[in-house]
Structure 1
Amino acid sequence: MDADWEARCAALWDRLDEMGREEFVQAMRDLAAERGPEDPVGLFEVASAHDSTGFTEAAVGYYERALAAGLGGVRRRRVSIQLASSLRETGSPERALAVIAEERERGSDEYDGALAMCEALTLAKLGRDREGLSVALVALAPHLPRYQRSTVNYARGLVGLDPVD
């Protein structure tokens, strides 16, 4: 069922822009129901559907339920990023930073840049622009053809940290 369900889920996401907001969310709820009411993957996809259609406050509860149900794999990292973003936008930026910090402790993967982006935006939301810029520059540095160390050191200097060798 998983491969077929995942394919149907991907196909539904491909139709997001063709559907109305409520129609898309209901279609995702129906699809997720096939997995059971507390299935972490289903909960994550329903949360994402709410979030992507502007129902951000409703998404938070689904994200939290997906985490509590033991969501794993790549969706685990994504849920943290998306939950933090939703918390930031619904008036809980401090809580968003806590989610980001917890996720950062879990390790590193291809979503590190997205996590840094979310952290930078959250810091800016809190009026901590220099810290946010520092986070963004450190995340950008590995992708530059040159000046990686200089960029990291300038970023560290923005927040009063010593340069690295």
Structure 2
Amino acid sequence: MKDTFEERLTRAMNLRASGEYEAVLTLMIELAGERPESAFVQYQAAAIHDRLGLEKAAVPYYEKSLALGLSDPEDEANAYLGLGSTYRTLGDYENARRVLMCGRGKFPSHRSFDVFLAMTLHNVGEHTEAMRLLLLLIADTSGDAEVVAYKRAIAFYAENIDRIWPGDDDSD
């Protein structure tokens, strides 16, 4: 007797928890084909492809999961982050920026979007904005006492990273 869909999905989740990713991949491809209308299953298929370094194959699963609408906000945020990051690693910086900005707008408390967006901005030569995002992230989230002591200065310089102040010398 063949296992039910739910039993196979549970097995896939258990295999993933135990690190048996290749077996999960096989199961998730099968399950995603059987339930193309399940955003959760499409997302899980994307995530396992991504985990195994199969970024190009992960994209359609991520896209479909987001188009279908994930019910769990954490899954949705992770799908946006996964798709944006995947586009970036594939060199598709325009789509990476679009997806990461969308995810960042929907989930502003997920500061990991700032990190991946900064990497994307770096890739397209927008170094000042990339640095600004990272400096603000550091200022806002660091618990390191030395960084906290300079939080205001770091936040100020994040907005003025390219500014040069005149010196106090007596020349000319």
TM-score class normalised by the smaller sequence:
0.7 to 0.9
Shift of 1:33: 6.0
Residue 40 of structure 1 corresponds to 39
Structure 2 counterparts to residues 9-158 of structure 1, below 5 A: 9-16=12-19, 18-20=20-22, 23-30=23-30, 36-72=35-71, 73-109=73-109, 112-144=110-142, 145=145, 146=148, 147-158=150-161
- CA 1:120/1:6 → structure 2, altered by over 3 Å: closer, same or farther? farther
> In structure 2, how many angstroms separate the alpha carbons of the residues matched to 1:6 and 1:120?
35
TM-score (norm 1): 0.79
The 8 Å contact of residues 116 and 136 in structure 1, kept in 2 or not, is answered as: yes
**Equivalent pairs, count:** 153
Asked if 2 retains the 8 angstrom alpha-carbon contact of 1:51 and 1:59, the reply is yes
Larger Rg: 2
1:14 is displaced (CA, Å) by: 2.3
Task: Quote the offset at 1:159 in angstroms.
Answer: 6.0
- Taking the aligned partners of 2:49 and 2:25, their CA distance within structure 1 comes to 6
Q: CA RMSD in A?
A: 2.6
Query: Cα deviation per residue 1:25-49 (whole Å; 9 max; x = unaligned)?
Result: 1133345567x22200000010011
Structure-2 separation of matches of 1:125 and 1:8: 39
5+ residue gaps, structure 2: 1-5, 164-172
CA contact (8 A) 2:77 2:107 kept: no
Identical pairs, percent: 28
Query: Do 2:12 and 2:24's aligned partners in 1 also have CA atoms closer than 8 Å?
Result: no
TM-score (norm 2): 0.76
Which piece of structure 1 moves more, 59-68 or 25-34? 25-34
Partner AA of 1:88 in structure 2: R
Q: Give the 3-state SS of the residue equivalent to 1:158 in structure 2.
A: coil
> Deviation string for 1:27-77 (max 9, x for gaps)?
33345567x222000000100111111110111111000011111321111
